[in-house]
Structure 1
Amino acid sequence: MNERTRGRFLAVEGGDGAGKTTQIDLLEAWLTEQGLACDRTREPGGTPVGEKIRSLLLEHGQGEIDPRTEALLFAASRAAHVVQRIEPALRAGTWVLTDRYVDSSVAYQGLGRELGAEAVAQVNDWAIGGLQPDLTIVLDLDPAVARERMAARGDGRADRMESAGEEFHARLRTAFLDRAAAESHRYLVVDAAQDPQTVQAQIRARTEELLHG
């Protein structure tokens, strides 16, 4: 396929409460204003099988899920997501915006669950068949501030990942920042403690490089 007709793939990452939903809302609206077709999706999920896996992974009351099983379930959802939804959309010229991708597994299972970042990354490299985002946006926020945001949100009980302890969420933040530092050319790290419009302005400035690249 002519590279100019292929869509672009953007992933938005960060800990729980960092504001991913708000920023994807704003980015999707802006890209649509530019006349671009957008497919907004999420992980785990994005496909029928992925949504079933999401329920197993995130909802309480599903029984014990050990860390290795958890990591493999995330990778299975992601494999389906890439083959069934992301790649077809990109081939059709659509811009894909995903709430979470491989970095989340490396952070949550690799460091958060202490399975090892390299081991989790290898499993996911195989699952995605080499498909990397054109840009990964990391919304960086102190976990203590994120907890305050989620408490103020008051929209119900935290899911299994959100319910993990303080040390777990501190490890997540370190993982996201380390991944971004290792390949800074394809990452944008934004201070998510800023107001949403300021955060969005930085995201749009970087995204414009893809628009004109």
Structure 2
Amino acid sequence: MKGKFISLEGGEGSGKSTAILCIQAWLESHNVPFIMTREPGGTPLAEEIRQLVLNPRDEKVNDTAELLLMFAARAQHLSEKIQPALEAGAWVICDRFLDSSYVYQGKARGGDTQQLDLLSEWVVGDHRPDATLLLDVPVEVGQQRIVQRQYQDRLDKESLVFHQKVREGFLERAHSEPNRVTIIDASVSIEAVKSQIENQLEHLFQAWCGGK
């Protein structure tokens, strides 16, 4: 039986790292075979591309260059890690995937949606998430969390206007595909966030596996 693909999305400071630990613990407790991965990244080559994309630099990164680098990393990630895991029957939990490209390089950067559609069809095809958990927090809350980090990458350092567009973009994606994307209120306590995530995982487990 082919595995299931769950992506985790959200703006900067939305708490995805904490959510990943929660998901991992839940899957282990239910004896679900899984892998945890991330984008950009997930394989040695894709991780090198991640550094090119996210490392702060003096040179302005061209928007098209950023978009193509993201999809180059994704192509490698899909072929070398995600697809083999799904074929082996494992659940794939991915920190960011295609939605992030539409939001960051599309909505926030003002990129051409038609170009994104063409790249998505070429690189991703039918290998899209079965479900997506969107961790949503007000931009001000996310920014407060970001400034507490020891390291801030190039996207962390973008303007408040940029981050507001990111949030709007994710919510638009969620509202356009409510059957796939579940919004998690990540502005509440960690325990409350965990409860929301676990409830959704239980729902998906029942739907996909009949609770077995």
Q: What TM-score does the superposition give when structure 2 sets the normalisation length?
A: 0.93
Tell me if the contact between 2:146 and 2:156 (Cα under 8 Å) persists in the aligned partners.
no
Q: Match of 2:133, SS?
A: strand
Query: Identity over aligned residues, as a percent?
Result: 37
Unaligned runs of 5+ in 2: 208-212
Tell me which residue corresponds to 1:181: 175
Tell me which residue corresponds to 1:64: 60
Cα deviation, residue 172, structure 1: 0.5
Q: Match of 1:189, SS?
A: strand
**1:1-213 map, 5 Å:** 5-61=1-57, 63-151=59-147, 153-156=148-151, 158-213=152-207
Amino acid across the alignment from 1:167: V
Unaligned runs of 5+ in 1: none
Q: Match of 2:179, SS?
A: helix
Amino acid across the alignment from 1:100: R
> 1:106 & 1:88 partners in 2: Cα distance?
25
Tell me if the contact between 1:138 and 1:176 (Cα under 8 Å) persists in the aligned partners.
yes
CA RMSD of aligned residues (A): 1.4
> 1:19 & 1:44 partners in 2: Cα distance?
17
> 1:52 & 1:62 partners in 2: Cα distance?
19
Cα deviation, residue 73, structure 1: 0.6
Amino acid across the alignment from 2:84: P
1:122-169, Cα deviation, whole Å (9 max, x unpaired): 312321122111110111111111011122x3323x211111101100
Q: Match of 2:200, SS?
A: helix
Q: What TM-score does the superposition give when structure 1 sets the normalisation length?
A: 0.92
> 2:18 & 2:89 partners in 1: Cα distance?
24
Amino acid across the alignment from 2:109: R
> 2:149 & 2:176 partners in 1: Cα distance?
36
> 2:158 & 2:39 partners in 1: Cα distance?
18
With 110-119 and 41-50 compared, the bigger mean Cα shift is at 110-119
Amino acid across the alignment from 1:106: Y
Tell me if the contact between 1:50 and 1:80 (Cα under 8 Å) persists in the aligned partners.
yes
1:7-26, Cα deviation, whole Å (9 max, x unpaired): 11110000010000100111
